[in-house]
Structure 1
Amino acid sequence: MITIQSTDHFIETCKHLGLIVVHFYADWAEQCKVLKNVFEELEKDSGLNHVLFLEIEAETHPTIAAQYKVLAAPTIIYLMGGKQVDRVDGVYTREIVEKVRLHAALADDLGNLQPSQMTTKPVAPRNPETKEELNARLRRLITAAPVMLFMKGDPNTPKCGFSRQIVNILNEHNADYRTFDILEDEAVRQGLKEFSDWPTYPQLYVNGDLVGGLDIVKEMVDSGELQSLLPKKQSLEDRLKRLINEADIMVFMKGSKDSPKCGFSRQTMDILKETGLPFSTFDILADEEVRQGLKTFSDWPTYPQVYVKGSLIGGLDIIKELKELGELTSSLKGES
């Protein structure tokens, strides 16, 4: 997988004539790490030798991200002949893999790649994954999130009754969990059985430790143990309350403090930095749920939004007005 270093690097790499799969990721997003493993496995497929896999850190390369309207990580963009032909927003492993194979096949069928035109990736010879390497990958996977479910399919489309039942149980308990589709990775499917000494699926892990399969989970439901074991999904309202109180001065904006992604956010940063007061920011482009939810929560339709000790001060116009009145610093300190 090629990691894009700059806009010029991206432009040059996109001269590849075959299918290009672009993974816009964020270092802090655990689900992006899971997808990276998926792409590394796809690269091993000899039938996909002409597919180029790229990864771009969305926050580090906002110009490229904006070009493809990337609002959250992970986002997967499919390019053919330099043009976008498809996309997947979010962690939908099955859909992502199916679209890779579909567009790779269409490229050949539609004659987009003539043998004389094909840009073949230099493929280094790969040795089979050793047991130690597989076990290391399995350890990374089972700890990719506090609660990991290895199942057939995904939560939206379980591919067996047992997987469907355990997903229903986790959802009923409002559990905050991630999943891995073992049908997409035969090495993981077989290796995890031996690694955890558990022969069937689904398999549920909490903090890297195997809890068990469906029968064990059902027993824990009956005994009341499961409720206390699983971390719960935070309601949007609770999450927003936590976010606006993360610092005495919190700014919800497009981009980051040092890399604003719109003129209003940039002006707000310039004004706040002049005060010399410490403040924190949250990039609403990286989280659509927060972006939409905060508008309703605070009854304020635009960004940026500035909060002081959990209370909304306002947007850029209010900040400018407070500055002109000489009241900005005292307002940001919560003194007025």
Structure 2
Amino acid sequence: MSVTILDTVKNFVNFISDPSLAVVHFSANWADQCGQVDSVPTVILFKNGTQIDRVDGADAAQITSKVKSYSLYKGTTVTSMQKLEERLKALINKHKIMVFMKGTRDAPRCGFSRTLIQILNATGVQYDTFDILTDEEVRQGLKEYSDWPTYPQLYVKGELIGGLDIIKELQANGELDATINAN
């Protein structure tokens, strides 16, 4: 990724209109505080002239993460996006109950995944899991596909039920068994 100085509105519009990811960091070379990224309050990410995300504040890790995740799709075609969607649908429907999580049912790699597995195991229901840490394309693609930004994600019969917070709520309301055992 190269740095381009955008000194006119026309240059800016042309830059962000590109179908590839454009990351815009606003600065003013006459302002001493703009000498470091830490002092710049906003980074905006564009694709095809449309703002797709932003980072407010000096969070280099978050900026890096967002650039990497959106760069995953850089240069992808409509066909490859359709193939990813087909793959996601196949994974979601691989089992009546599917959990997309960090780690596996036998070795969860985060507390949220571990707690969800404990809840499901206590119900005695049969389910399958997919370790999103083994496949970055699925990890990022499923967030967009399901419009659910976090993991774990629980699906029943191909439908997103939600993450751990939703599952805990269903459990607390006595609705979890009915939800996961729906015909």
TM-score of the two chains, using structure 2 as the length reference = 0.56
8 Å contact 1:176–1:231 — kept in the other structure?
no
Is 1:228 the counterpart of 2:178? The answer is yes
Aligned-pair CA distance for 1:164: 0.1
What amino acid is the match of 2:132? I
Aligned residue among 169, 176, 180 for 1:219: 169
Structure 1 residues 39-118: aligned runs within 5 Å: none
The residue aligned with 2:91 is 141
Task: Give the structure with higher Rg (CA).
Answer: 1
The alignment's C-alpha RMSD in Å is 1.7
The residue aligned with 2:121 is 171
What amino acid is the match of 1:188? V
8 Å contact 1:203–1:211 — kept in the other structure?
yes
Residues 218-259 of structure 1 show CA distances to partners (whole Å, capped at 9, x for unaligned) of 000001111112239xxxxxxxxxxxxxxxxxxxxxxxxxxx
Aligned residue among 209, 214, 230 for 2:159: 209
Residues 171-229 of structure 1 show CA distances to partners (whole Å, capped at 9, x for unaligned) of 01111100000001100000000000000000000000000000000000001111112
8 Å contact 1:148–1:180 — kept in the other structure?
yes
8 Å contact 1:150–1:201 — kept in the other structure?
yes
What amino acid is the match of 1:150? F
- Secondary structure at the counterpart of residue 150 of structure 1: strand
What amino acid is the match of 1:207? K
Question: How many Å separate the matches in 2 of 1:230 and 1:137?
Answer: 23
Question: How many Å separate the matches in 2 of 1:155 and 1:146?
Answer: 16
8 Å contact 1:152–1:181 — kept in the other structure?
yes
Q: Which consecutive unaligned segments of at least 5 residues does structure 1 have? A: 1-126, 233-336
The residue aligned with 1:180 is 130
Structure 1 residues 1-336: aligned runs within 5 Å: 130-231=80-181
Q: Which consecutive unaligned segments of at least 5 residues does structure 2 have? A: 1-75
Question: How many Å separate the matches in 1 of 2:111 and 2:80?
Answer: 33
Question: How many Å separate the matches in 1 of 2:168 and 2:147?
Answer: 20
What amino acid is the match of 1:220? L
8 Å contact 1:176–1:230 — kept in the other structure?
no
Question: How many Å separate the matches in 1 of 2:143 and 2:131?
Answer: 14
- Secondary structure at the counterpart of residue 154 of structure 2: strand
Give the number of aligned pairs.
Answer: 106
Question: How many Å separate the matches in 1 of 2:165 and 2:128?
Answer: 20
8 Å contact 1:150–1:179 — kept in the other structure?
yes
Question: How many Å separate the matches in 2 of 1:142 and 1:225?
Answer: 22
What amino acid is the match of 1:224? G
TM-score of the two chains, using structure 1 as the length reference = 0.31
